[in-house]
Amino acid sequence: TVHTRDQIELPPPAIDNRLTVHPLWPEIDRISTEQIQAAFEGVGGEIGWQLFAEEGDMRMYRREVEVDGMVMDPLKAMHKVRGVSAREMCHYFFNPRYRYEWETTLEQMTIVEEISSDALVFHQTFKRIWPASQRDALFWSHVRASSENTFAVTNHSTTNTEYPANSSACIRLFVTVCLACRSTYPAGEQPTRDNITTSIAYCSTVNPGGWAPAGVLRAVYKREYPKFLKRFTGYVVDQCKDKPLAI
């Protein structure tokens, strides 16, 4: 079989052996499993979740949580996208080659460690939000196939002595993000761009790591998360439209 470069780099169907022998593996496995499970649990009827953005099939909820006056609101979003698979969605979210094309809060991204084909460590600086200090983050990112037609990417903060926190003008923030995607197509049919639908659950919790005005932060989140999810999903649809469907 002839593979294009793109097909080879799609998320692997099983965990890469190089990841399972890495010191971070137990943590990566545990947090990914927890996050993926939580992502597919609904918010419907659960107390405390407030809907703050709705557009087409996209719905975004947040819970207002403050710890010592710092905003740590968990966010949860649901979306449905036609014409792309869960595997494709996760490929574009995980692979750093595309990140600058859809990530609008990003200033700079550095690959700190290539653990395996399905796990990387990133350092990222974000655009400064007035009047707060600039933020950076250091996190591992792991993509995996979970159940049938389901793929997910989990990002979670970590440490690295070569990238110490709060050593530059940046304040280190802490993040846990999960993008979980599940594809469906009519029973008895072969999946195609015309009959496939991917349900997305995106969860994010950001600890700003130091003082930031609550009102400003909530306003930024309210504007930036819907913008991100619309832009990212639109980007993937656009990138995939002339390529064969990858399941």
Q: Which residues bind ligand 6CM (CB under 6 A)?
A: 103, 105-106, 124, 126, 129, 132, 135, 137, 155, 175, 177, 204, 206, 208, 212, 217, 220, 224-225, 228
Assigned token pair, 118? 């399905």
- Comparison of 216 and 247: residue with beta carbon closer to ligand 6CM: 216
Q: Which residues 6+ apart lie within 8 Å of 187 measured at CB? A: none
- To ligand 6CM, the closest distance from the beta carbon of 156 in angstroms equals 9
- Comparison of 87 and 135: residue with beta carbon closer to ligand 6CM: 135
- To ligand 6CM, the closest distance from the beta carbon of 72 in angstroms equals 12
- Comparison of 82 and 128: residue with beta carbon closer to ligand 6CM: 128
Give the residue from 115, 87, 61 showing the smallest Cα distance to 229.
61
Extended strands (E) in the chain:
50-55, 58-62, 66-67, 70-71, 75-82, 106-116, 119-126, 135-145, 150-157, 171-172, 174-184, 197-207
Give the residue from 10, 19, 11, 26 showing the smallest Cα distance to 116.
19
- To ligand 6CM, the closest distance from the beta carbon of 213 in angstroms equals 7
- To ligand 6CM, the closest distance from the beta carbon of 64 in angstroms equals 16
Q: Which residues 6+ apart lie within 8 Å of 236 measured at CB? A: 81, 84, 88, 89, 92
Give the residue from 82, 103, 97, 90 showing the smallest Cα distance to 198.
82
- To ligand 6CM, the closest distance from the beta carbon of 83 in angstroms equals 22
- Comparison of 19 and 177: residue with beta carbon closer to ligand 6CM: 177
- To ligand 6CM, the closest distance from the beta carbon of 211 in angstroms equals 9
- Comparison of 69 and 188: residue with beta carbon closer to ligand 6CM: 69
- Comparison of 171 and 237: residue with beta carbon closer to ligand 6CM: 171
Assigned token pair, 170? 């940046």
